[in-house]
Amino acid sequence: MLGSSSLPFHLPILLLVDDDTNVLSALKRTLRGVNASILCFDSPVDALEFCQHNQPNVIICDQKMPQLEGDELLAKIHLLWPQSLRIILSAYQDFQKISAGFNSGDIDKYICKPWDKQELKFIIDKALANIVVEKNNDHVVEKPPDSPPVNFHSMIASDESMKELFNDIRHAATSNAPIFVTGETGTGKELVAKACHLESYHQQEPFLAVNCANFTENLMESQLFGHTKGAFTGATSSQEGVFAAAKNGTLFLDEITTLSKTLQAKLLRVIQEREYTPLGSNKVEKFHAQLISASSNSIRDAVVNGDFRDDLFYRLNIVTFNIPALRDRGDDIFLIAHHFLKKYAVVENKGFQRFSRDCLQILGQYNWPGNVRQLENVIHSMIIINSGIELNSQMIIKALSSSIIPLKDSLTRVIKAEINTSNEPLS
């Protein structure tokens, strides 16, 4: 439609692709006023031909289209222009294909039809803010990326895998699609969920966190759905559930694999229909919040073993964030340890300022099966029960020895060596 030659553009290029011209018109009206040249294609083949000669900065395309489906189109554009922002727009519940696109990196965001005008405008404005026009060359280029922050919503990192995670959170947080967070115990799954909330357009709305493992089935159902007075024995008054209390914000369900099959089925319906009914009520209520779920156990294994519904898994697993274990984060162990040293020295009004060399050696060699949470607890304990300006090997040996988590064999040898060369008693 626009020819095959490269065209000069003095604004970022926003590509809209949908075989329904009415949808294209509605999209263009929604995005009126954005700082971009908006180009509309009702044929994915024509859109791809255009992209072979021109760099689009943002692409919004429908999933179900003749000739070429949306995920296939975005995969081809990803190969041509990997820096582009690729958004899939669909009213269909084709979660498996879209999830595969997310995992491969072909799809950056998913937005459900009918779209929220404010949300869509927010996403596009935020994306375009990172793009400038190189006027002398009459083409659009990306700004050089800023150095990723060391402290990202209370998560501290220098490791590249964590910096990449922070960047992925920024991209995904502007979508209302379900997010699933995986990681060992203590890696910071709730912090990741909170970061997604704080990066989102609904950051002023509530953020509610519920650990599913803390409740029996009946209590969990009441916690989620709420109940009316007299709904069950002991229900002396009506109570709002977290589906309602989350409003237009974020609901974080931790350890979701512990839900019973009955509650899994009910949660699936809430996600599909975006509505629920409180216990004891006949009134259907709308569910507006973004759902983020997490598990420290393998949800895929739970599906294979028949403990978790596969259809619910596909609904929850649109975007997945895997938090690396602390032992896999290189020198982050020392960065985080110094952060906790400063924090708890102030909290406990102690004079500690540094770690001894042998203490740092143990910090680096220990496996930290409890991850960041265990590291925080160990350093806090060391500061509480000791005095001085330096945390040393004797202090960390004592703190680790009181842990319920067994010491790794290699570290046990390190500790024995430290004990044998020390003249100071452990207690």
- What's the pLDDT score for residue 9? 55
Query: Domain check: are 171 and 318 in the same one?
Result: yes
Query: Domain check: are 155 and 257 in the same one?
Result: yes
Query: Domain check: are 41 and 177 in the same one?
Result: no
- Among 107, 124, 142, residue at a domain's last position: 142
Q: Has residue 276 been placed in a domain? A: yes
Looking up residue 297, the CATH number of its domain turns out to be 3.40.50.300
Query: Domain check: are 182 and 297 in the same one?
Result: yes
Question: Cβ(251)–Cβ(293) under 8 Å?
Answer: no
> How many CB atoms are located within 10 Å of the residue 60 CB?
26
Q: Has residue 8 been placed in a domain? A: no
Query: Domain check: are 193 and 312 in the same one?
Result: yes
Looking up residue 401, the CATH number of its domain turns out to be 1.10.8.60
- Among 264, 289, 322, residue at a domain's last position: 322
Q: Has residue 370 been placed in a domain? A: yes
Domain holding 109, by residue range, is 13-142
> How many domains, the chain?
3
Q: Has residue 6 been placed in a domain? A: no
Question: Cβ(52)–Cβ(80) under 8 Å?
Answer: yes
- Among 322, 337, 355, residue at a domain's last position: 322
> How many CB atoms are located within 10 Å of the residue 17 CB?
30
- What's the pLDDT score for residue 7? 45
- What's the pLDDT score for residue 96? 67
Question: Cβ(39)–Cβ(16) under 8 Å?
Answer: yes
Q: Residue 135 — pLDDT band, cuts 50, 70, 90?
A: very low
Among the residue ranges 35-44, 289-298, 338-347, 399-408, the one predicted with the least confidence is: 399-408
Q: Residue 123 — pLDDT band, cuts 50, 70, 90?
A: confident
Taking 80 as the threshold, does the pLDDT of residue 36 lie above it?
yes
Residue 397 amino acid letter: I
Q: Residue 122 — pLDDT band, cuts 50, 70, 90?
A: confident
- What's the pLDDT score for residue 204? 93
- How does pLDDT run across 326-342, given as a tens digit for each residue? 999 988 999 899 999 99
Q: Has residue 113 been placed in a domain? A: yes
Q: Residue 365 — pLDDT band, cuts 50, 70, 90?
A: confident
Query: Domain check: are 162 and 127 in the same one?
Result: no
Q: Which residue has the tokens 């006949």?
A: 282
Looking up residue 114, the CATH number of its domain turns out to be 3.40.50.2300
Largest CA distance in the chain: 83
Q: Has residue 111 been placed in a domain? A: yes
Q: Has residue 5 been placed in a domain? A: no
Structure tokens at 292: 């983020």
pTM for this prediction: 0.64
3-class DSSP state of 352:
coil
d(C-alpha 150, C-alpha 335), whole Å: 10
Q: Has residue 27 been placed in a domain? A: yes
Query: Domain check: are 212 and 287 in the same one?
Result: yes
Question: Cβ(336)–Cβ(373) under 8 Å?
Answer: no
Q: Residue 105 — pLDDT band, cuts 50, 70, 90?
A: confident
Alpha-carbon separation of residue 9 from 13, 79, 133, 170, 203 (angstroms): 7, 21, 9, 27, 34
Query: Domain check: are 155 and 122 in the same one?
Result: no
Query: Domain check: are 201 and 109 in the same one?
Result: no
Structure tokens at 138: 């009459």
Query: Domain check: are 112 and 196 in the same one?
Result: no
Average pLDDT over residues 414-427: 43
Round the CA-based radius of gyration of the chain to a whole number and report it: 26
Query: Domain check: are 160 and 134 in the same one?
Result: no
Q: Residue 351 — pLDDT band, cuts 50, 70, 90?
A: very high
Query: Domain check: are 177 and 290 in the same one?
Result: yes
